[in-house]
């Protein structure tokens, strides 16, 4: 009789091995013992349920070989046959563990005809949401074994947004059953084997820059490597008696405040129309949004320009914060382009929605966004977001730097509100927040200026 010995799991790994939800995510930080848990669960399922088919997926084949195939060869010995040509282990009871990569779109297409009972997506945040949706369709079949999808994950990567939405925020869509989803948070400190055998690893994590340390050591899903607007705080952070946040509850807008409308057009991609209230010190408040997106992120509602501007006009005639106001508008200069027929701005004019051409310089524009998001020495930024403006709050913290430009934003992402934000900021530029130097007489300028003096430039 052939025997395979699997070491005892740590408490978090044990929860993962026992979990029977349809979708289970495991991890949250580096070094949490995720790959071991995937291998152990795959072997236990294959050994105990004859004839089932299991598939383990990672972004690249070298990762599969290093993290799963070679360790399983050592663990299983001659208890299962590995065939290199098909990249699969076959067990005596007929169960199979397949290994597949998702290095490109064509690789995903090849798996559409594959049927499996259990799917493991190791390092799932390396996969886009589209890749995730397509490959999980492989989980199907007519046998009685319950179908399962298991994900391991760390904050960051192309799939950060959908994994955070489903398993951390639990913000489900109509076709998603909350009872199907479970998240088991595992940190490096939960991995007792790693802590005993490689205590230097946690010291390496502790020595990382603050942003990476929060993501990789603490498993913070609100911060990840490459985050473009790392200043943005969608939940309050407290430092002593100071409270840092950008997202606030709505309040009644004083009628004397200036209202500015910014706009980024989209058809197949979302459009973003945003209304900003500007107080007497130049601080801006995002008070309303009209964001043209379906339930699928970064997918537009495909409204004709006349419908968009008709709705904008209706809102400005009916909403108590907007009606009767002289509203300045600023928009992407591309809507003046008539090279392919009628310019989009002509539809806006028909509905009495007027814009000035926005300054579309990208790097200066992003710097203005950073200036407004930055907190000054009093703990106050120069821009706030009403918590009802959900598209802005959802998309802004997920944007990342462009792969080949360390100062620009990655335009392949859902950046439509960010562009609208940029046009607004360039229409009312400010100087960076700077702490005033004490005078030669020892006076504290903070007592004189109370924080925002000199921040706004007209």
Q: Which residue has the higher pLDDT, 265 or 195?
A: 265
Indicate whether 159 pLDDT > 90: no
Indicate whether 442 pLDDT > 80: no
| SS3 labels along the chain | CCCCCCCCCCHHHHHHHHCCCCEEEEEECCCCCHHHHHHHHHHHHHHHCCCCEEEEEECCHHHHHHHHHHHHHHHHHHHCEEECCCCEEECCCCCEEEEEECCCHHHHHHCCCCCECEEEECCHHHCCHHHHHHHHHHECCCCCCCCEEEEEECCCCCCHHHHHHHHHCCCCCCCCCHHHEEEEEECHHHCHHHHHHCCHHHHHHHCCCHHHHHHHCCCCCCCCCCECCCCCCCCCEEECCEEECCEECCCCCCCCCEEEEEEECCCCCCCEEEEEEECCCCCEEEEEEEECECCCCCCECCCCHHHHHHHHHHHHHHCCCCCCCCCEEEECHHHHCCCCCCCHHHHHHHCCCCCEECCCCHHHHHHHHHHHHCCCCCCCCCEEEECCCHHHHHHHHHCEEECCEEEEECCCCCCHHHHHHHHHHHHCCECCCCCCCCCCCCCCHHHHHCCCCCCECC
362 forms beta bridges with none
Choose from 80-84, 142-146, 445-449 the range with maximum mean pLDDT: 80-84
Counting Cα atoms < 13 Å in the Cβ hemisphere of 89 gives 28
Q: Which residue has the higher pLDDT, 434 or 116?
A: 116
181 forms beta bridges with 23
Dihedral class, residue 423 (left if φ above 0, else alpha if ψ from -120 to 50, else beta): alpha
Residue/partner pairs of 193-196 with CB below 8 Å, 24 or more apart: 193/7, 193/10, 193/33, 193/36, 194/31, 194/33
* Per-chain mean pLDDT for the chain: 87
CA–CA distances in Å: residue 347 to residues 144, 302, 313: 57, 15, 12
**Both tokens of residue 354?**
């007027």
**Both tokens of residue 438?**
């004490």
- Distance of alpha carbon 54 from alpha carbon 43, whole angstroms: 9
148 forms beta bridges with 118
pLDDT digits (tens, 9 = 90+) for 329-382: 999 999 999 998 999 999 999 999 999 999 999 989 999 999 999 888 788 999
Q: Are strands 328-331 and 356-357 parallel, antiparallel or unpaired?
A: parallel
- Which pLDDT score is estimated for 211? 62
Q: pTM here?
A: 0.59
Other C-beta atoms lying within 10 Å of the C-beta of residue 354:
13
Domains and CATH numbers, the chain: 11-216 (3.40.50.300), 247-427 (3.30.420.280)
pLDDT digits (tens, 9 = 90+) for 305-335: 999 999 999 999 999 999 999 999 999 999 9
Lowest mean pLDDT among 264-268, 400-404, 424-428: 400-404
The arithmetic mean of pLDDT across residues 231-242, rounded, is 74
Q: How far is CA 167 from the centre of its chain?
A: 12
Question: What percent of the chain shows pLDDT beyond 90?
Answer: 61
pLDDT digits (tens, 9 = 90+) for 36-73: 999 999 999 999 999 999 999 998 999 999 999 999 99
The residue whose two tokens read 């003096």 is 453
The arithmetic mean of pLDDT across residues 292-308, rounded, is 95
- Which pLDDT score is estimated for 401? 82
């Amino acid at each position: 009789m052939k025997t395979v010995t699997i070491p005892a799991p740590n408490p978090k790994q044990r929860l993962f091995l026992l979990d029977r939800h349809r979708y289970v995510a495991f991890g949250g930080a580096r070094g949490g013992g995720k790959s071991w848990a995937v291998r152990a669960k795959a072997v236990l399922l294959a050994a105990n349920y004859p004839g089932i088919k299991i598939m383990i997926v990672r972004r690249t084949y070298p990762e599969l070989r290093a993290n799963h195939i070679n360790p399983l060869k050592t663990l299983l010995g001659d208890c299962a046959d590995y065939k290199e040509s098909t990249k699969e282990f076959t067990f005596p009871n007929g169960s199979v563990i397949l290994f597949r990569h998702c290095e490109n779109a064509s690789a995903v297409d090849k798996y559409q005809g594959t049927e499996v009972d259990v799917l493991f997506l190791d390092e799932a945040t390396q996969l886009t949401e589209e890749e995730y949706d397509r490959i999980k369709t492989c989980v199907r079949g007519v046998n009685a074994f319950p179908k399962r999808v298991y994900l391991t994950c760390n904050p960051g990567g192309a799939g950060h947004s959908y994994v955070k939405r489903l398993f951390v925020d639990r913000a489900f869509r109509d076709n998603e059953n909350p009872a199907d989803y479970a998240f088991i948070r595992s940190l490096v400190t939960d991995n007792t084997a790693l802590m005993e055998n490689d205590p230097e690893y946690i010291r390496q994590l502790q020595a990382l820059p603050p942003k990476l340390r929060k993501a990789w050591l603490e498993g913070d899903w609100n911060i990840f490597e490459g985050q473009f607007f790392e200043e943005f705080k969608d939940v309050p952070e407290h430092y002593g008696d100071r409270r840092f946040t950008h997202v606030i509850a709505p309040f009644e807008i004083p009628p004397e405040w200036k209202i500015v409308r910014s706009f980024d057009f989209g058809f197949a991609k979302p459009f973003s129309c945003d209304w900003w209230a500007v107080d007497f010190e130049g601080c801006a408040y995002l008070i309303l949004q009209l964001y043209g997106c379906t339930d699928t992120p970064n997918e537009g509602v495909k409204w004709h320009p006349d419908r968009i501007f008709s709705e904008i006009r209706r809102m400005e005639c009916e909403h108590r914060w907007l009606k009767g106001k002289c509203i300045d508008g600023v928009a992407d200069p591309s809507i003046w382009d008539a090279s392919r027929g009628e310019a989009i701005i002509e539809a806006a004019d028909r509905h009495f929605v007027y814009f000035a051409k926005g300054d579309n310089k990208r790097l200066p524009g992003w710097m203005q966004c950073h200036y407004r998001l930055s907190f000054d020495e009093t703990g106050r930024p120069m821009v706030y977001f009403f918590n009802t403006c959900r598209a802005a709050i959802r998309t802004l913290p997920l944007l990342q730097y462009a792969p080949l430009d360390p100062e620009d934003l990655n335009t392949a992402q859902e950046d439509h509100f960010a562009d609208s934000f940029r046009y607004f900021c360039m229409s009312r530029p400010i100087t960076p927040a700077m702490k005033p130097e004490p005078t030669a007489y020892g006076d504290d300028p903070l007592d004189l200026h109370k924080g925002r003096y000199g921040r706004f430039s007209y």
